[in-house]
């Protein structure tokens, strides 16, 4: 068995994570031969050797989080960043997070991450960190179109390049506007929101000013 099938082994041979891997190999008498894991069998004790080999692999798997790509780890915080950005930008009373149509969707199957109200055509805003959430947003927008719910659909990707091309294309078929990245497109997102909101705001309500 190879130590890694989808990564440069040199990436794993660094710092504390390599100490953990080396310890797991040593405990169960498994040898690392340039990335190939080998467990010798003595006295025809095949079952014992297999057990030790499997245990070493399980121990190494426990180290996976230590060398998981940074981009994958960031996904867990993206939706928090998405909501924080909106709260800094739009008056709270105009937003409804995790909104669904109360008349047509009693089981809450079709969720809009944030519905922004106060204009004839409300904004349906989705945060899109991965393929799964992008598919969900696509299905929701398709259903809203079937129900003839007026809306302006905006999607904000965490990183557009991480989304499978066909998944991204299907989302674009049902959305009005999307932005490739929250972190790099904040100013563009603000300008787009202002275009749709500023002249329609209530007299005492304004978008937060950002520079």
Encode pLDDT of 41-88 as tens digits: 888 888 888 887 888 777 777 665 555 554 455 556 899 999 999 999
pLDDT band per the 50, 70, 90 thresholds, residue 157: very high
CA Rg, the chain, in Å? 25
Rounded Cα distance, 79 and 69, in Å: 18
**Among 153, 151, 141, 156, which Cα is nearest to 190's?**
156
The pTM (predicted TM-score) of the whole model is 0.61
Q: How wide is the angle at C-alpha 180 spanned by C-alphas 138 and 129, nearest 5°? A: 55
Q: How wide is the angle at C-alpha 2 spanned by C-alphas 38 and 23, nearest 5°? A: 60
Number of neighbours of residue 47 by Cβ within 10 angstroms:
9
The sign of the torsion formed by the CA atoms of 154, 160, 165, 166 equals: negative
Instruction: Of 43-47, 93-97, 180-184, give the lowest mean pLDDT range.
Output: 43-47
pLDDT at 189 exceeding the cut of 50: yes
């Amino acid at each position: 068995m190879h130590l890694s099938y989808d990564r440069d082994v040199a990436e794993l041979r660094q710092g504390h994570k390599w100490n953990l891997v080396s310890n797991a190999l040593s405990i169960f008498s498994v040898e690392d031969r340039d990335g190939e894991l080998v467990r010798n069998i003595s006295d025809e004790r095949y079952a014992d050797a297999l057990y030790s080999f499997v245990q070493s692999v399980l121990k190494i798997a426990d180290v996976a989080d230590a060398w998981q790509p940074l981009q994958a780890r960031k996904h867990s915080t993206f939706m928090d960043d998405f909501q924080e950005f909106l709260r800094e930008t739009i008056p709270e009373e105009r937003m409804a997070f995790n909104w669904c149509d109360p008349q047509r969707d009693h089981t809450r199957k079709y969720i809009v991450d944030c519905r922004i109200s106060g204009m004839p055509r409300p904004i349906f805003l989705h945060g899109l960190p991965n393929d799964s959430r992008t598919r969900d947003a696509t299905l929701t927008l398709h259903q809203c179109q079937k129900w003839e719910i007026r809306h302006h659909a905006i999607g904000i990707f965490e990183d557009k390049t991480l989304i499978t091309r066909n998944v991204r294309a299907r989302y674009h078929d049902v959305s009005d506007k999307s932005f490739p990245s929250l972190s790099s497109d904040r100013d563009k997102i603000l300008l787009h929101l202002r275009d749709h909101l500023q002249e329609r705001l209530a007299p005492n309500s304004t978008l937060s000013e950002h520079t």
